[in-house]
Amino acid sequence: MTGTSPAVVAASRLGLTFQTNDGPVQALSNVDLTIGKGEFVSFIGPSGCGKTTLLRVIADLEKPTSGTISVNGMTPEQAREKRAYGYVFQAAALFPWRTIERNVGLPLEIMGLSKAEQAERIKRTLDLVNLSGFEKKYPWQLSGGMQQRASIARALAFDADLLLMDEPFGALDEIVRDHLNEQLLELWGRTNKTICFVTHSIPEAVYLSTRIVVMSPRPGRVSDIIESTLPKERPLDIRETPEFLAIAARVRDGLRAGHSYDD
């Protein structure tokens, strides 16, 4: 926690219960969490632990049923209306009928920015994710990794200080994923954004994060929060160091502890 700077996300005794045909399901229960400005926080846990639900609550895509949550000191709804965050989904979710530049420009069109401002931001964000030269291509002409980079560019074009990413690299192969992880860290270092990152990969979480939130299912809750001791500069081979492996082991223990009553 950064302490002095105001919290970007602050949740207190947050709970969300879905009403399903099989009765109520507690997707989130008693979540207490504060995320400071400039942090890179990963949420990790088995499926059903509520990590995506928590991200969706921050984004005002789900409404909590108990507790409180604030984003930039506002309710999530107000924050969304102020366009306080960019959201990256599991799939690239590009519109197939729009070229890459027009996909990146979509949120800017909706915000009503001038054409010149749009063009400038599109160019800048496509540069940022190394997609310059692909402006006129349609999504199907790009590989999966490039499509996901375009969707990150789209979230960045917003220029919001908070980036919410829901397993953005989950569907990509290991090599592409390593590459994108590296690029994401570099981007985070350059832009000083706050990033909330959902993943189910331990190495990915440890490699990227300043803090790792370990979650467990039934009911979905935070079972451990691990501060990373890794330096901000992280080459890929930091993953072989004892320090890295120690953190990974702690995460694994946390996941196992959350699972102990299961099976």
Partner 1 sequence: MDSFRDKLIPVTSILAGVVVLWYVFAVILNAPFQRDLDRRANETPALSEFIGKTLSQPKPTLPAPHQVAVNFFENTFLRPINSNRSLVYNAWVTLSSTLLGFAFGTALGIIIAVGIVHVATLDRSLMPWIIASQTIPILAVAPMIIVVLAAIGITGLIPKAMISTYLSFFPVTVGMVKGLRSPEIMHLDLMHTYNASGAQTFWKLRVPASVPFLFTSMKVAVAASLVGAIVGELPTGAVAGIGAKLLAGAYYSQSIDIWSALVAGSVVAALLVMVVGIAGRIVDRAMGGRPA
Kindly state whether residue 227 participates in binding partner 1, applying the rule CB under 8 A: no
CA pair distance 25, 20, nearest whole angstrom: 7
Select the residue interacting with partner 1 from 20, 21, 47, 96 (CB under 8 A). Answer: 96
Q: Which positions from 186 through 215 interact with partner 1, judged by CB under 8 A?
A: none
DSSP secondary structure letters along 102-120: HHHHHHHHHHT--HHHHHH
Select the residue interacting with partner 1 from 6, 24, 32, 111 (CB under 8 A). Answer: 111
Select the residue interacting with partner 1 from 97, 175, 231, 263 (CB under 8 A). Answer: 97
* Residue with Cβ nearer partner 1 (111 or 257): 111
Which residues lie closer than 8 Å to 238 by C-beta, 6 or more apart? 207, 230, 244
Kindly state whether residue 98 participates in binding partner 1, applying the rule CB under 8 A: yes
Render the burial of 127-137: b for 16+ CB within 10 Å, e for the rest: ebbebeebbee
Kindly state whether residue 110 participates in binding partner 1, applying the rule CB under 8 A: yes
Give the closest residue to 166 by CA, choosing from 59, 63, 252: 59
The answer to whether 43 and 208 have CB atoms below 8 angstroms apart is: no
Write each residue from 54 to 73 as x if it is in contact with partner 1 (CB under 8 A), else as -, in one continuous string. -----xxx------------
Kindly state whether residue 83 participates in binding partner 1, applying the rule CB under 8 A: yes
Kindly state whether residue 127 participates in binding partner 1, applying the rule CB under 8 A: no
- Edge-to-edge strand order for the sheet containing 66-71? 23-36, 7-20, 66-71
Kindly state whether residue 117 participates in binding partner 1, applying the rule CB under 8 A: no
CA pair distance 178, 11, nearest whole angstrom: 31
CA pair distance 165, 198, nearest whole angstrom: 6
Select the residue interacting with partner 1 from 1, 25, 106, 171 (CB under 8 A). Answer: 106
**Minimum distance of partner 1 from residue 100's CB (angstroms):** 10
**Minimum distance of partner 1 from residue 99's CB (angstroms):** 7
Select the residue interacting with partner 1 from 87, 134, 197, 207 (CB under 8 A). Answer: 87
* Residue with Cβ nearer partner 1 (111 or 246): 111
DSSP state for residue 140 in the 8-state scheme: G
221-227 and 211-216: which strand pairing? antiparallel
Residues that bind partner 1 (CB under 8 A): 59-61, 80-81, 83, 85-87, 89-91, 93, 95-99, 106-107, 109-111, 138-140
